[in-house]
Amino acid sequence: MTVSDSTDRTEAHDEAAAGAERQRCEVSVVLPCLNEEETVAACVEKALGWFKREGIDGEVVVVDNGSTDRSREEALRAGARVIQESRRGYGAAHLRGFRDSCGDIIVMADADDTYDLVNLTPLVEPVRNGYDMAVGNRLHDMDEGAMTWSHRVIGTPAISFLLKLFTGSAIGDSQCGLRAFSRDAFERMELRSSGMELASEMILKAYRRDMRVAEVPTGYAVRKGETKLNTFRDGWRHLRFLLLYTPHYLFLIPGLVFMLLGILSLALTLGASGGVTVGTLTWQPVFAGGILLVVGTNAVVIGTATHLFAASRGIIPEDWMSRFIRKYAQLEQVLGLAALVILVGIGLDAVIFYEWVTDSDLGLSTDGMAAVAQTSVIVGANLALGGFLIALMDVE
């Protein structure tokens, strides 16, 4: 463990203890802040005004993430409780605020005045009525120019689609930064992301933990000041997070597709010694088949191991696939399959040798048999090594 790791864990423990000792309130509004002196005071005042009108026992927590302007002073002047978070990042600031807040219900928003904090009742009401989390939807009520065309038409819908594919999420605007959730839901989600991908992590984990999630229409205004969002960097962080937390989509499904294509290509190789004619071109599948099958096998092995690791560590829930792997992919079973595949390769090499020494022809392409033989030996060896990797990933 490094000194910085130890320090981070100590700080996190101290923050959690401080939050536990602080007297509970009903609602905490958490605003991350990085150089938002033009807008942070207005956001704080709107939230505090909502508390007063609705008779809510609440607080506004502004998390200063390294501002170099007067954001801290403006937030304090407006009546917020200001805390510092030295680790830079949207997620890091939010997580510090969540941990250090006192509310039984936590509202996350931004300090750039893009979300209207005058009336948060529609957002909070579902959580009061038993939902674990409520997520805003900006896509049907936003000011002109509030969101770029690429984010509105491509980025947000694409990430929302992936979350729907990976988790069954019904959220239409998965990247909305205005949300409310119970403290129990926050603790159950076990959030970790330090960057913008926190928005995706919250939805992915909420659905995987069978939480009740509501979606509430909300407005979205043009941002004042310079945006902190980087389209390509933050888009990649979202995609990277989703793929790492869905190993079956990253490894298993593509691997199985590659294996199937490889087997079909090798089958064509066995029956077509002259290749496959497509119009005026002749395709020799002898190389493609081996490459696809080996790559596919490695992807399936890695996917099996990572799925088991993620399930055993609580990153993804235990499911039918985890149970299937534990039952049918034990080390001895995988080694037996590997030995069988290697023997097939050696057997085909023996057939080729027999044809050569006897000058006979069994009607199969010699090149095709050689490709299948060598591929079988490679695949078998990879399976044997992969069996140990799979077994290692399930060691407590």
The answer to whether residue 102 is domain-embedded is yes
For residues 255 and 113, membership in a common domain is answered with: no
The answer to whether residue 8 is domain-embedded is no
Q: 26-35, 121-130, 224-233: which has the minimum mean pLDDT? A: 224-233
Domain boundary among 177, 195, 230: 230
Domain boundary among 204, 230, 256: 230
- What is the per-residue pLDDT across 191-209, written as a single tens digit (0 to 9) for each? 999 999 999 999 999 999 9
For residues 122 and 69, membership in a common domain is answered with: yes
Percent of residues, the chain, with pLDDT higher than 90: 60
CA dist., res. 237 & res. 229, Å (int): 12
pLDDT surpasses 60 at 9: no
For residues 221 and 297, membership in a common domain is answered with: no
Check residue 272 and give its pLDDT: 62
For residues 174 and 300, membership in a common domain is answered with: no
For residues 179 and 279, membership in a common domain is answered with: no
For residues 91 and 156, membership in a common domain is answered with: yes
The answer to whether residue 10 is domain-embedded is no
The answer to whether residue 354 is domain-embedded is yes
Q: What angle do CA 294, 297, 298 make, to 5 degrees?
A: 85
In degrees and rounded to multiples of 5, residue 141 shows phi and psi of -155, 70
Check residue 248 and give its pLDDT: 85
**Structural domain containing residue 162:** 15-230
Angle between helices 156-167 and 231-244 (to 10 degrees): 0
For residues 284 and 383, membership in a common domain is answered with: yes
364 or 108: whose pLDDT is higher? 108
Domain boundary among 195, 230, 265: 230
Check residue 367 and give its pLDDT: 77
For residues 385 and 253, membership in a common domain is answered with: yes
Q: 10-14, 22-26, 199-203: which has the minimum mean pLDDT? A: 10-14
For residues 46 and 101, membership in a common domain is answered with: yes
The answer to whether residue 41 is domain-embedded is yes
For residues 222 and 251, membership in a common domain is answered with: no
- What is the per-residue pLDDT across 311-368, written as a single tens digit (0 to 9) for each? 887 777 788 888 888 888 999 999 999 999 999 999 999 998 888 888 877 767 777 8
Model confidence at 64, in pLDDT bands (50, 70, 90)?
A: very high
For residues 193 and 304, membership in a common domain is answered with: no
Check residue 163 and give its pLDDT: 94
The answer to whether residue 128 is domain-embedded is yes
- Please tell me the total count of domains within the chain: 2
Check residue 154 and give its pLDDT: 87
CATH of the domain at 52: 3.90.550.10
CA dist., res. 91 & res. 150, Å (int): 23
The answer to whether residue 209 is domain-embedded is yes
For residues 290 and 225, membership in a common domain is answered with: no
Bridge partners of 174, per DSSP, are: none
The answer to whether residue 7 is domain-embedded is no
**Model pTM score:** 0.78
